[in-house]
Structure 1
Amino acid sequence: MSTMIDTTSTRRHDLDALRAIAMLLGIVLHAALSFSPVPWTVNDSQQSDAYYVLFAVIHGFRMPLFFLLSGFFTAMMWRKRGLGGLIKQRLKRIALPLFLGCLTIVPAMWAVGTLVRQPSPVATPAAEVWESLVAGDVERVQDAIHDAKIKVNAVSQDGASMLTVAVFLGHTDMAQMLIEHHADVNQRNRDQGTALHSAAFVGRATAANMLLSAGANADAVDANGQTPKDLLKIDFGTTNFIASSFGVSLEEETLKSGRAEIAKLFGTEDYLGSNNSAAAGPGIEALEGLLFRLPFFMHLWFLWFLCWLVAAFVIYAAVADRLKLNKLPRFLVSSPACLLWLVPLTMLPQSFMAQGTFGPDTSVGLLPIPSVLAYYGIFFFFGALYWDIDDREGRLGSGWSITLALALTVVFPIGFDMVTGTLGIVPDIQDARMKSLVANLLEATFAWLMVLGSIGLCGKLLAGESKAMRYISDSAYWLYLIHLPLVLLAQWAVKDVQLPAFVKFAGITIVVSAVLLVTYEYGVRYTLIGRLLNGPRQRPAAKPIASHSAEPVGV
């Protein structure tokens, strides 16, 4: 039976709590990454695919849910305070914290990232192996693999596989040895590229031939949506600029001839065009990388996206009443039937994203990646529309138990395995376009099923006011903003400790959250920072009614 919720006179406790839960799940997500066999700033000694699955489940719906709820509360504030009041509040709660975060939290992230990537002052067997790999000492690396000092598919702190490093540096004999020892030729690096991407980028024709003979996928897509074939087209100026930043110097003619040979292996001899001509400095690809890919905002990117979406909301506010959007048939917005148009619509921007990971891309650069902004914009403006439709009966989340079960037991396992091959339950689809289309459909469906199911679940369990949940809701903004440097430090501190992964993962999540709650209670809640993030809060000695606003604030 649906929960009756008054959306006009009371605070939406259920959705406010759900928004806080979505933010706090970010701590769980980031804590799990060091235990996942994927590139991350810190790689723990105890890793398991289970944490990769956990990460993918959370990542597949958390931020879509957050942006939908942000759109909902943005529309609510607009209707109650007017457009001027909305803009003033969003500047104070979103734009100003983002600006201050860029001056404090982002530099802290850079500093912590540099610290945790530093080699241990005590030489470890693994560190010595990496030094031998870089030096091209095949015999020492081979002995280390035989003696189990390092795994053949080990990943560096920079997120590169051993095979990728060998190929990039031009150590062909090393690459051959690693392949003979069953290195995964399609292993992903932090940027989701493979060793074949590196071979194509720096023109290592011999290595590319070996990789292709060993089964490397010439159509693998990296985080930038590029295949190894696409990297053949990057101009020399950009290539040399990027390669030299990693200590590799290139000769233009050698690069061009190597790429020409690789193009023949790919069957794309006409790849050159004008892009491979001489260029003195970095070209358009490098500029694009600086603007869209350089991690300028780190995990604060969601605030930057909200700034763009609130700006776009001004246009929505100008046309919403003229178009009578609140008069749309309610079943198209406030019932599960909305999936019939939302899923196809979401598939469109998602089709432009990287194909090697489950869920949406992240955009941390100075400019939002258009496809990612459009993706989250769909959820944001659906949330705004959902407010105007006034779903008092909670119809949108009806059947939440079936919805969540379907998402978690059917849609996710099939979609995740189709994208990553981790579970080994889905036969490979040979038609690349069909495989991409089906995976896209499943990813979009999973996101919306989890969003609708979460709304229904919280409407059932958290519709009433709870002081504990209100406190968590108020503190969640601060906890998420500040958590990542502490999570990285905690991961770094325990990465070589010989304890079960779950013990370390749970410890990181609980200890970091507890520490941040203490800082919130005693250093944030009743201070200028607390007023900036959540509005005025009075200490318990004051009248209780003064500490509770009728509507949620923050993001």
Structure 2
Amino acid sequence: MSQATTAAPVSERLHALDALRGGALLLGIVLHAAMSFVPVSPRIWFIQDTHPSLLLGLLTFAIHVFRMTTFFLMAGFFARMSFHHRGVRGFLRDRLQRIGLPLVIGWPILFASMYLIAIWASHFPNGGWSRSWPPVLPNFPLTHLWFIYVLLELYVAMLLLRGAFVRLDKSGIWQAVIDRAFARIMRNPLAPLVLAIPIGIAFCLDQRWINVMGVRTPDQSLMTNAQAWIGFGTAFGGGWLLHRQIGLLRLLERRWLAHLLLAVGLILIGFVLSGVMFSAPGAPKLPVSFAALRLASAILYAPAIWIATFAVMGLALRFMSGFSPAWRYLADASYWLYLIHLPIVTVLQVALSQLDWPALVKFAVILVVAIPPMLASYHLFVRFTFIGAVLNGRRAEKRVLPHGGIATA
């Protein structure tokens, strides 16, 4: 274990990290609610609002930089905790219940509803099938549930890797070496740059990559792409190793402001670069080639992912470590809300898309109309029912594990 001193009890840090995990899921709802207002061509969403917004474009760009890396880092952290609490069989049974079952049951319902919404959107000149819809076999449209499919893959990969280490490294020498190497990286102020190297290389080798897409998400196939394995796998593994040395969290808490300032700067630069790369056809041509701009974007975007991830982790540890009933409730509800939100949000986007209202007003209406009923459905039909037991575990069990829900993912 790391010898780093702790600023707060471990239980308080888990409150902060669980709130962060829930926040990452809730930010996904905000992200998708803003997608119809992104001023990009060709259209990438089911509907493009008649009033695009550069500010909402920046919001989606910023959230997309760090959200899923943060989520998978937390997933790896809590996966190791759950594994050592439950054992191999208990862990597998728990993951199949909380992750596998919602995927199998929820996917047909969500896909059917999204298909119908896309048909409705196609009646408008600025809506309908985007470049990836309808999916053509052998592609498989996982929609926004791709993240739990990838979680299942990462659980299997990590258990196999851990089993091999336990069998081949019975003395624990190599595990100690890995722990020391990881601690040395995390203690170095350049840690985000080191962790960004694998995904940065993947970006540079992908000739079709552009920074607005971030890490390629495997939402259209059961064959997870290499970028997702590298980007999210690195985060998941980092979270697993971080749980082995929880004292390292103190470093992220101490560096939150520096990471935040750097993250804001890199995100703004990346957003400007994306605008330059996809400037209007009549705009003056730059002396720099598209390939050079793409390479610069990749070099900047990869560290931005990890710097922003460390920034939000540090913020959570610094300001959200104490127990908060409101954050506890939202963290519990976030999994359900994220599972059900996409058809609700998309229906509202299509319904509002033709109105002559400012983009920010429409965006606010979408969130204000969508979130309260979703929270009500969680409280009435999920929190104290068998659905809540499947998704978040039994209420009594969560008194033992205060980081319940998908936080143990």
The one-letter code sitting in structure 1 at the alignment partner of 2:268 is P
Deviations 1:386-442 (A, max 9, x none): 11122265212422112112211x211222222342798xx9463555433321121
The one of 95, 101, 117 equivalent to 2:100 is 95
1:112 aligns with 2:83: no
State the partner residue of 2:189: 336
1:82 aligns with 2:97: no
1:370 aligns with 2:226: yes
The one of 120, 129, 142 equivalent to 1:158 is 129
1:27 aligns with 2:3: no
Deviations 1:170-228 (A, max 9, x none): xxxxxxxxxxxxxxxxxxxx46xxxxxxxxxxxxxxxxxxxxxxxxxxxxxxxxxxxxx
Change (3 A) 1:329 1:527: closer
- Report the Cα offset of residue 348 of structure 1: 2.1
Q: Give the TM-score taking structure 1 as reference length.
A: 0.64
Q: Distance in 2 between matches of 1:11 and 1:509?
A: 29
The one-letter code sitting in structure 1 at the alignment partner of 2:7 is M
Deviations 1:88-116 (A, max 9, x none): 21111111111111232222222222233
State the partner residue of 1:406: 262
The one of 438, 441, 444 equivalent to 2:296 is 438
1:12 aligns with 2:14: yes
Give the conservation status (yes or no) of the 8 Å contact 1:335–1:398. Answer: no
Aligned residue runs from structure 1 range 31-430, under 5 A: 31-38=33-40, 39=43, 40-119=45-124, 155=126, 157-159=128-130, 190=131, 290-291=137-138, 294=139, 296-318=141-163, 319=165, 321=172, 323-324=174-175, 325-328=178-181, 330-333=183-186, 336-353=189-206, 354-358=208-212, 359-364=214-219, 365-391=221-247, 394-408=250-264, 410-421=265-276, 428=286, 430=288
Unaligned runs of 5+ in 1: 120-126, 128-154, 160-189, 192-241, 246-285, 539-544
| Higher RCO (CA < 8 A, seq sep 6+) | 2
The one of 370, 391, 394 equivalent to 1:512 is 370
Q: Distance in 1 between matches of 2:259 and 2:278?
A: 22
- Report the Cα offset of residue 452 of structure 1: 0.3
Change (3 A) 1:407 1:302: same
Number of aligned residues: 385
Deviations 1:141-186 (A, max 9, x none): xxxxxxxxxxxxxx55334xxxxxxxxxxxxxxxxxxxxxxxxxxx
State the partner residue of 1:271: none
Deviations 1:43-71 (A, max 9, x none): 21211222111111111111111111101
Structure with more of its chain in helix, by fraction:
2
Q: Give the TM-score taking structure 2 as reference length.
A: 0.86
State the partner residue of 2:401: 549
Q: Distance in 2 between matches of 1:417 and 1:392?
A: 34
- Report the Cα offset of residue 523 of structure 1: 1.1
The one-letter code sitting in structure 1 at the alignment partner of 2:48 is N
Task: Identify the range of structure 1 (348-357 vs 12-21) with the bigger mean alpha-carbon deviation.
Answer: 348-357
Of the two, which has the highest radius of gyration? 1
Q: Distance in 1 between matches of 2:197 and 2:76?
A: 20
Give the conservation status (yes or no) of the 8 Å contact 1:14–1:459. Answer: yes
State the partner residue of 1:455: 313
Q: Distance in 1 between matches of 2:235 and 2:75?
A: 9
- Report the Cα offset of residue 330 of structure 1: 2.0
Give the conservation status (yes or no) of the 8 Å contact 1:112–1:489. Answer: yes
- Report the Cα offset of residue 490 of structure 1: 0.7
Change (3 A) 1:528 1:352: farther
- Report the Cα offset of residue 546 of structure 1: 7.0
